[in-house]
Amino acid sequence: MSTVLPAAPERPLPTPTRESQPYWDGMREGRFMLQQCASCGKVRHYPRPVCPHCFSMESNFKEAPLGGAIHTWTVCHHPFNFFFKAQAPYIVALVDMDAGVRINAQLRGIAEADLRIGQRVTLAFEPVTQEITLPFFTP
Ligand SMILES: [Zn+2]
């Protein structure tokens, strides 16, 4: 009797859009690119066509620093997507970046017991495919 194992689930990946392509290009180059309003100058994340502050549709991308401070985190024991089951438990951090936006990504290289609110972390880059590089945080 043979057992047919289900195929391993594929890693879920983002699909770049016209608005987000410069962000993903930056990830691939190891750069954190943020959208900046050409009218009021405020940066925003995630990339989108209209400025949430002044409703301008004009924007540019600029490179932002990689540092930030932990706003909060969670430890994922039961991943939403089955692909991540092999990595569980893992930490996802919500980080206040020095550039003024808040982003979330996995936090690696530190134990949960050693985490604290306000702790400094650095954005790093994990190439996943030819097109997609994903961000993660390191202490
Ligand atoms: Zn604006």
Q: Are 94 and 41 contained in the same domain? A: no
Say if CB 95 and CB 69 are below 8 A apart: yes
DSSP assignment string, 5-23: PPPPPPPP-----TTTHHH
56 Cα: distance to centroid of ligand 1 (angstroms): 5
37 Cα: distance to centroid of ligand 1 (angstroms): 5
36 Cα: distance to centroid of ligand 1 (angstroms): 8
Strand pairing report for 133-138 and 102-107 = parallel
86 Cα: distance to centroid of ligand 1 (angstroms): 42
Number of domains into which the chain is organized: 2
1 Cα: distance to centroid of ligand 1 (angstroms): 65
Its pTM stands at 0.89
In-domain check, residue 1: no
Domain boundary among 64, 89, 123: 64
Q: Please state, in angstroms and rounded to a whole number, the distance separating the CA atoms of residues 112 and 93.
A: 11
Mind listing the pLDDT tens digit for each residue in 47-58? 999 999 999 999
> Domain range spanning residue 110?
66-139
Q: How confident is the model at residue 1 (pLDDT cuts 50, 70, 90)?
A: low
Task: Say which residue, 2 or 82, is predicted with more confidence.
Answer: 82
Nearest to 49 by CA among 21, 77, 10, 9: 21
Domain boundary among 48, 64, 80: 64
Dihedral pair phi/psi, residue 26, rounded to 5°: -60, -45
Compute the mean pLDDT over every residue in the chain, rounded to the nearest whole number.
94
Q: Are 131 and 82 contained in the same domain? A: yes
52 Cα: distance to centroid of ligand 1 (angstroms): 7
Q: Which residues crowd ion ligand 1, with CB under 5 Å?
A: 37, 39-40, 51, 53-54, 56
Q: Are 94 and 124 contained in the same domain? A: yes
23 Cα: distance to centroid of ligand 1 (angstroms): 18
Say if CB 104 and CB 70 are below 8 A apart: no
Q: Please state, in angstroms and rounded to a whole number, the distance separating the CA atoms of residues 60 and 50.
A: 12
In-domain check, residue 48: yes
In-domain check, residue 6: no
Contacts of 87 (CB under 8 A, 6+ apart): 79
